[in-house]
Homo-oligomer: A and B are copies of this chain.
Amino acid sequence: MEYKDQDGLTEKEFLAQYNPGDYARPSVTVDMMVLGPKKDYSGLKILLIKRGGHPFINCWALPGGFVHEDESCYQAAGRELNEETGLKNVFLEQVYTFSKPDRDPRTRVMSVAYMALSPVAPPVRGGDDAVAAAWFDFEFSENMIRIHNDDIGVEINYQLSTKRFKNGNVKYANLVPVLKSKAQLAFDHVEIILESMIKLRREIEYTDLPFSMANEEFTLPDLQVIYELLLGHSLYKANFRIMVSDRIEATGKKAKSVVGRRMSELYRLK
């Protein structure tokens, strides 16, 4: 069944003569919130890139880059992440697309935001290059986003206040970040972190997401700490174990605990 359009063209003929025309097209980038645990699981780290050019020159920004012509946004995010950290096959999920016309002062740039969770925070390009990358300590609480790196003496703080708004008949309570430090994140990248963390915490309820920050084989004390870091509050050990019990299987092996006396058992995700 070969339909012709009002010009008498078949689909093949139409596509052959098609011209995308002069619609104003935006640039599209991907930007990523990349989280990894500290080595001793005492906190979370977030990966940032120091901007070497205008705008937001010398500001720290989320890693990201332009989406190439022959790749999807997911592929672009995976490629950028790999270029920056060498990481592959980590959890990577689309969060939200940011599209306010003035979000980039250069030209119209939309950003498709992703979040990535890694079991490790591998070394990245040092602080001397034009495009330096570094892992920052990351704290996210009900009323605060704190990002700091004591080695290079950078501290970035945003206070979170609750704001109510309406969408149709539905009422929401949303968090709004307010800069509280001298240093700031580039562009609207705080918003990306905010949206990502909200989505992340919600998805922990019904997915195996925290497992993506654990090693292939993990101890339950470690897994619990990861849950606690991501959720932002502590859990009862017994309840936690019941909660994850049907998703894990014992390996039979034991891990030497770092400081404790009794050795904990190793598990893997079913």
Contacts and interface: CB of A to CB of B under 8 A. Distances in A.
A92 interface: yes
A202 to B, nearest CB: 8
Contact of A54 (B15, B69, B105): B15
Nearest to A53: B5
Interface residues on A, range: 35 or more
A168 B90 contact: yes
Interface stretch (A22-30, A121-129, A229-237, A253-261): A22-30
B25 A27 contact: yes
State the oligomeric state as a number of copies. 2
A207 interface: yes
Interface in A71-95: 71-74, 89-94
A74 B110 CA distance: 12
Interface stretch (A6-14, A37-45, A140-148): A6-14
A167 B106 contact: no
Nearest to A269: B169
Given A100-B72, A105-B15, A52 B171 contact: no
Contacts of A66: 23
Contacts of A99: 28, 67, 72-74, 112
Nearest to A172: B207
Most buried by B among A3, A25, A119: A25
The 10 closest A-B pairs by CB, nearest first: A91-B168, A168-B212, A14-B54, A24-B69, A25-B25, A73-B99, A20-B107, A169-B212, A97-B97, A169-B211
Given A14-B55, A92-B167, A94-B97, 15 more contacts: A11-B54, A11-B105, A15-B55, A15-B105, A15-B106, A20-B106, A26-B67, A67-B99, A72-B99, A73-B97, A92-B168, A169-B216, A170-B209, A171-B269, A202-B206
Interface of A: 3, 5-6, 9-11, 14-15, 18, 20, 23-28, 52-55, 57-58, 66-74, 89-94, 96-97, 99-101, 105-108, 110, 112, 117, 119, 130, 167-172, 202, 206-209, 211-212, 214, 216, 269
